[in-house]
């Protein structure tokens, strides 16, 4: 049996905000598994003499297991509730980093990465799915705040981890931070609850500009729905386009000879490339709840049209005016800001389209698009090698975002409207 929600329309609003906060805490605790990995690559290479490329295979394995298994983990959430899935996920995250601390072969390191990826995917998929269920009236904001915990969560611990590596070694950092992060996730999991389905109190607040289905679609039905594949293709295009452009920040800064040029913005002086990368963490976190909140107000497709078109224009502007150090920093911020919102817009749109009951599994199916996009990113290297520069990469990335923007309005919008009308 699940910890079936017995709450009704009298469910206090505070309890769902507590659930959201718990989810954000869990997401912040697993953020370093992805965003803190870069701190460990050089120390591992220095200790064992392995190439950086061989070590980074572990990161690829982590990303793939973290994304592609989320539908299964989401199914378990829908079936048994969030508590047991996050408990196991937190345990696996802790074990994965503890294994990293003693990994003395690449095979063992890769196995550890798979364990960590499964755990992180379980926590990520559960927290996003639970937020979608608890907030039918504010799905964009709830999913955005939860995703922001993952996108910006490492900002709180990246400096302590870096300092710990320097003082005690990377193995001790893996061990103690792995234990700490895993324990916090498991403690938070004990207080997670399944959202009440069909709460009149929350359903009454749903914005008519954000139409929602009248029935709940099982994952097997979702996979037979054309509207799902339209959203999936759009997700892949925006995710891959953004990744392809941002992956070239180093080369473009080097090509324009501005990477080390000091930039002064509001009294803060940093080298242009360092400034741009620092902005990534901040804006990539802020954009998720911001555009999620906007989509709750004006609708999902209008928000997609604006955000994806802004990303397309931002990439072109960076390509055109990036030789100016200040423009490089500002336009890089714009590109990051118009890109990270996919992790709030697509999960909320998916839940609106296919219902709350199976929201975790269905959002998990959508989340695999992140893994698909990561497999397309190496194409940027192929394009660069074939053309001799990075210009084609920016053009392709911009075009992909503009196509997704137009699809949101001219393809997804009428398809979703018809789908929701039929569900009634």
pLDDT at 162 over 60: yes
**Regarding predicted confidence, which is higher, 67 or 250?**
67
Distance, first Cα to last Cα, the chain: 30
pLDDT at 35 over 70: yes
Q: Which of these, 179, 307, 194, 311, lies nearest to 244 by C-alpha position?
A: 311
User: How many Å apart are CA 317 and CA 331, to the nearest integer?
Assistant: 7
Q: Residue 248: what pLDDT? A: 73
Helix or strand holding residue 122 (H, E): helix 106-134
Q: Domains along the chain?
A: 13-203 (1.20.1250.20), 219-423 (1.20.1250.20)
Q: Residue 390: what pLDDT? A: 77
Coil, strand, or helix at residue 218? coil
pLDDT in tens, 43-72: 999 999 999 889 989 998 998 899 999 999
Q: Region 277-298: what's the mean pLDDT?
A: 90
Long-range contacts of 84-87 (CB under 8 A, 24+ apart): 84/189, 85/122, 85/125, 85/126, 86/26, 86/122, 86/123, 86/126, 86/127, 86/185, 86/186, 86/188, 86/189, 86/192, 87/186, 87/189, 87/190
User: How many Å apart are CA 289 and CA 173, to the nearest integer?
Assistant: 31
Q: Region 375-396: what's the mean pLDDT?
A: 82
**Regarding predicted confidence, which is higher, 242 or 90?**
90
Q: Region 237-254: what's the mean pLDDT?
A: 82
Q: Residue 63: what pLDDT? A: 87
Q: Residue 1: what pLDDT? A: 42
Q: Are 291 and 307 in contact (CB under 8 A)?
A: yes
What is the residue whose two structure tokens read 């990995």?
37
The residues, ordered by sequence, that sit 6+ positions from 365 with a Cβ below 8 Å of its Cβ are 71, 74, 219, 222, 223, 228, 350
Q: Residue 324: what pLDDT? A: 92
- Compute CA distances 6 → 9, 197, 215, whole Å: 10, 9, 20
Q: Region 318-339: what's the mean pLDDT?
A: 91
Of these ranges, 9-18, 223-232, 315-324, 388-397, the one predicted with the greatest mean pLDDT is: 223-232
Q: Residue 10: what pLDDT? A: 46
Q: Region 266-290: what's the mean pLDDT?
A: 85
Q: Which of these, 182, 199, 204, lies nearest to 96 by C-alpha position?
A: 182
Per-residue confidence at 4, pLDDT binned at 50, 70, 90? very low
pLDDT at 207 over 50: yes
Per-residue confidence at 278, pLDDT binned at 50, 70, 90? confident
Coil, strand, or helix at residue 264? strand
Q: Region 185-207: what's the mean pLDDT?
A: 83
Q: Per the structure block, which two tokens stand in for 70?
A: 């989320």
Q: Region 346-352: what's the mean pLDDT?
A: 97
Mean confidence (pLDDT) of the chain:
90
Q: Region 366-373: what's the mean pLDDT?
A: 92
DSSP state of 410: I
Q: Are 404 and 307 in contact (CB under 8 A)?
A: no
For the ranges 50-54, 209-213, 271-275, the lowest mean pLDDT is seen at 271-275
3-state secondary structure string across 314-326: HHHHHHHHCCCHH
pLDDT in tens, 127-138: 999 999 999 999
pLDDT in tens, 87-100: 999 999 999 999 99
Q: Per the structure block, which two tokens stand in for 253?
A: 């800064």
Alpha helices in 135-267 (DSSP H): 139-152, 158-168, 170-189, 200-203, 219-222, 226-246, 249-255
pLDDT at 6 over 50: no
Q: Region 3-31: what's the mean pLDDT?
A: 77
pLDDT in tens, 107-133: 999 999 999 999 999 999 999 999 999
pLDDT at 8 over 60: no
The burial of 344, by beta-carbon neighbours within 10 Å (0-12 exposed, 13-18 middle, 19 or more buried), is given as buried
Per-residue confidence at 312, pLDDT binned at 50, 70, 90? very high
Q: Residue 293: what pLDDT? A: 98
For the ranges 167-176, 272-281, 322-331, the lowest mean pLDDT is seen at 272-281
Helix or strand holding residue 116 (H, E): helix 106-134
Q: Residue 203: what pLDDT? A: 65
Q: Region 2-10: what's the mean pLDDT?
A: 43
pLDDT at 400 over 60: yes
């Amino acid at each position: 049996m699940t910890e079936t929600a017995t709450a009704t329309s009298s469910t206090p609003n505070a309890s769902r905000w507590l659930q959201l906060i718990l989810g954000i805490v869990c997401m912040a605790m697993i953020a370093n598994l992805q965003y803190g990995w870069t701190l460990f690559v050089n120390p591992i290479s220095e200790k064992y003499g392995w190439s950086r490329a061989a070590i980074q295979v572990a990161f690829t394995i982590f990303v793939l297991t973290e994304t592609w298994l989320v539908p299964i983990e989401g199914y378990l959430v829908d079936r048994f509730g969030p508590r047991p899935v996050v408990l196991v996920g937190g345990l696996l995250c802790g074990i994965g980093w503890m294994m990293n601390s003693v990994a003395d072969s690449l095979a063992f390191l890769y196995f550890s990465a798979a364990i960590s990826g499964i755990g992180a995917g379980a926590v990520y998929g559960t927290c996003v799915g639970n937020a979608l269920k608890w907030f039918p009236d504010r799905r964009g904001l709830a999913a955005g705040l939860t995703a922001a915990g993952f996108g910006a969560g490492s900002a709180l611990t990246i400096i302590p981890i870096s300092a710990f590596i320097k003082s005690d070694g990377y193995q001790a950092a893996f061990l103690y931070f792995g234990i700490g992060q895993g324990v916090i996730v498991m403690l938070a999991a004990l207080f997670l609850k399944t959202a009440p389905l069909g709460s009149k109190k929350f359903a009454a607040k749903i914005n008519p500009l954000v139409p929602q289905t009248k029935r709940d679609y099982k994952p097997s039905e979702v996979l037979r729905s054309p509207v799902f594949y339209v959203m999936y293709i759009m997700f892949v295009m925006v995710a891959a386009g953004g990744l392809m452009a941002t992956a070239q920040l180093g080369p473009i800064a080097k090509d324009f000879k501005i990477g080390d040029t000091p930039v002064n913005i509001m009294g803060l002086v940093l080298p242009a490339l360092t400034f741009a990368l620092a902005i990534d963490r901040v804006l990539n976190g802020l954009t998720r709840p911001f555009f999620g909140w906007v989509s709750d107000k004006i609708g999902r497709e209008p928000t997609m049209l604006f955000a994806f078109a802004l990303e397309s224009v931002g990439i072109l502007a960076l390509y055109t005016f990036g030789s100016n150090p200040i423009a490089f920093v500002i336009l890089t911020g714009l590109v990051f800001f118009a890109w990270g919102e996919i992790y709030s817009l697509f999960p909320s749109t998916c839940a609106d389209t296919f219902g709350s009951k199976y929201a975790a599994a269905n959002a998990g199916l959508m989340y695999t698009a992140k893994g698909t996009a990561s497999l397309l990113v190496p194409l940027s290297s192929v394009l660069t090698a074939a053309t001799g520069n990075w210009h084609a990469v920016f053009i392709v990335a911009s075009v992909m975002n503009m196509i997704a923007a137009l699809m949101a309005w001219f393809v997804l919008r009428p398809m979703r409207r018809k789908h929701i009308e039929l569900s009634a």
